[in-house]
Amino acid sequence: MTQTATGKLAPPASHAEPAHDLAAENRALRARMAYLLEQAERNHSIMTRHQAFDLDIVGASNFPELVGTIFRVLPVISELDNVTLTLIDEDADIRTVMAKLDVVFADYPDLLFVETADELGLDLGRRNAYSPTPKPLLGMYDKQRHAVSFPNAPAGLQSVALVPLLRNKRIIGSLNLGSCDPTRFTPSLGTDFIEHMASIIAICLENVISNEMLKYIGLTDSLTGVYNRRYIDRRLLEEIARARRQQYPISFMYLDIDHFKRVNDTVGHGGGDEVLREVASRIKNELRTSDALARFGGEEFVALLINANLESAAFVAERIRASVAGSLITLSPSLQLSVTVSIGVATLDLAAEGEGADIARELVARADGLLYHAKESGRNRVVSVRAA
Ligand SMILES: Nc1nc2c(ncn2[C@@H]2O[C@H](COP(=O)(O)OP(=O)(O)OP(=O)(O)O)[C@@H](O)[C@H]2O)c(=O)[nH]1
């Protein structure tokens, strides 16, 4: 026993203190263990959710499905307050093709496009082929600095991560993650997990975009950029089925450039191609975005007009005729020529019975027959009713 300064006897240090220490240590260890277990469970649950997410995005068969999944699922499984995706689209090719394939960009306000990698807000320096792979940029949210990456930032956004999307060392965009927790993305945080996630997203994006491009190429006419026959054949069947179900009118136009052989003979095949492009563009300008224009081959075009009866389709056809004939087509400063079109217009008979394919064939044949009449009766005209 030792005597204390107060004169009382203290318990032997070798017995009482270790017991107290052990109990405290035990409690601390238990608490630590509980914390680690909780972390392990949380990590496990995050991993499981992310694995399911990876499978979802790998399985996405088109662009809307992929970006839709990213915007819907990622904020939930990663507990984020804002997720945006910026894609580099230098010549607006991605936007053009997606719009052609009916992607409605207004449905994805957090899908952003920039023209160059410099606009992504990443710390890229002056990059060349040997530059190291760019790293995610983590830190506090700054309204001004992050305006491009988070145009619709929710109130209270505190920390952000801008993660480059890379394919074969090429930057194709960035995945932008935002949190209202200021400690969520700090510069010292490890980035392996988000880099891995971004690499899967980048692969999926590249695959889906190239598939959509291929789809687009398969459905368009490479000379004029309008749809091709394969597309219109399929679309016609879909639209006929819908119009018959919902009982609204659709009309079909068959258009043919007059004396195109002469055009080719006068200005050569290259000049003829240029005329085809210009005529396609003039026709398209008179149609609504819901209508479909296709080149059927040679100097023939067809247009499918949704929600248009015979009268309004004939009115649009007359506008097209006037637009083509109304001004000369300029091939070079010294070479201009006058071109006209003949148009046959037919409308779907909603009372007709029978298979969709037969109805489609009959509609096209009727428009073709009326076009023949337009040619016979002098060209540069619209015929929508068979003369008695
Ligand atoms: N430049 C160019 N010419 C084409 C293309 N496809 C078809 N043609 C030409 O289009 C011309 C079509 O001629 P025709 O079918 O005789 O008809 P047309 O001269 O337009 O006479 P009408 O239709 O009776 O007014 C032919 O000379 C074809 O060679 C193409 O892709 N580019």
Q: What is the pLDDT of residues 254-301, one digit of tens each?
A: 999 999 999 999 999 999 999 999 999 999 999 998 899 999 989 999
379 CA closest ligand 1 atom index:
25
Rounded CA separation 86/336 (Å)? 44
Q: End-to-end distance of the chain based on CA atoms, in angstroms?
A: 130
Ligand 1, atom 30, lies closest to the CA of 298
Q: Indicate the SS3 state at residue 282.
A: helix
Predicted pLDDT of residue 342: 98
Predicted pLDDT of residue 313: 97
Which domains are assigned to the chain? 59-217 (3.30.450.40), 229-383 (3.30.70.270)
Which residue's structure tokens are 């119009």? Answer: 243
Burial class (CB in 10 A: 0-12, 13-18, 19+), 71: middle
The residue type at 384: S
Ligand 1, atom 21, lies closest to the CA of 259
Predicted pLDDT of residue 45: 85
CA of 294 relative to ligand 1 center, distance in Å: 16
Predicted pLDDT of residue 300: 98
Residue 122 has pLDDT above 90, yes or no: no
Predicted pLDDT of residue 101: 83
Predicted pLDDT of residue 274: 96
Helix (H) or strand (E) holding 10: strand 9-10
Q: What is the pLDDT of residues 16-56, one digit of tens each?
A: 567 778 899 999 999 999 999 998 898 888 888 889 999 99
Q: What is the pLDDT of residues 58-67, one digit of tens each?
A: 999 899 999 9
- Give the least confident one: 4-8, 128-132, 248-252, 303-307: 4-8
Residue 201 has pLDDT above 70, yes or no: yes
Structure-derived torsion over alpha carbons of residues 229, 231, 234, 239, reported in degrees to the nearest 10 = -110
Predicted pLDDT of residue 128: 67
DSSP string, 211-272: HHHHHHHHHB-TTTSSB-HHHHHHHHHHHHHHHHHHT--EEEEEEEETTHHHHHHHHHHHHH
CA of 344 relative to ligand 1 center, distance in Å: 18
Residue 126 has pLDDT above 70, yes or no: no
Q: Which residues line ligand 1 (CB under 6 A)?
A: 223, 256-261, 264, 269, 272-273, 276, 298-299, 375, 379
Contact 158/179 with Cβ under 8 angstroms? yes
Q: What is the pLDDT of residues 362-382, one digit of tens each?
A: 999 999 999 999 999 999 999
Predicted pLDDT of residue 8: 41
CA of 261 relative to ligand 1 center, distance in Å: 5
Rounded CA separation 249/346 (Å)? 11
Q: What is the pLDDT of residues 307-360, one digit of tens each?
A: 999 999 999 999 999 999 999 999 998 999 999 999 999 999 999 999 999 999
Residue 139 has pLDDT above 90, yes or no: yes
Lookup: tokens for 292:
């479909």
Rounded CA separation 21/62 (Å)? 62
Residue 5 has pLDDT above 70, yes or no: no
Predicted pLDDT of residue 16: 53
Ligand 1, atom 26, lies closest to the CA of 261
ipTM of the prediction:
0.91
Q: Where are the alpha helices (DSSP H) in the chain?
A: 13-58, 63-77, 93-100, 192-219, 229-246, 260-285, 310-326, 356-376
Which of 254, 261, 324, 375 has most ligand 1 atoms within 8 Å of CB, for mutation? 261
CA of 231 relative to ligand 1 center, distance in Å: 22
Residue 53: how many CB atoms within 10 A of its CB?
20
Predicted pLDDT of residue 124: 73
Handedness of CA 212, 213, 214, 217 (dihedral sign): positive
Give 336's contacts (C-beta < 8 A, 6+ positions apart).
328, 329, 330
Rounded CA separation 158/141 (Å)? 5
Segment 225-254 mean pLDDT:
95
Mean pLDDT of the chain: 91
Residue 1 has pLDDT above 60, yes or no: no
CA of 308 relative to ligand 1 center, distance in Å: 29
Predicted pLDDT of residue 6: 39
Give 267's contacts (C-beta < 8 A, 6+ positions apart).
274, 275, 331, 335, 337
The residue type at 221: D
Predicted pLDDT of residue 3: 41
Q: What is the pLDDT of residues 143-195, one digit of tens each?
A: 999 999 999 999 999 999 999 999 988 899 999 999 999 999 999 989 999 99
Segment 113-138 mean pLDDT:
83
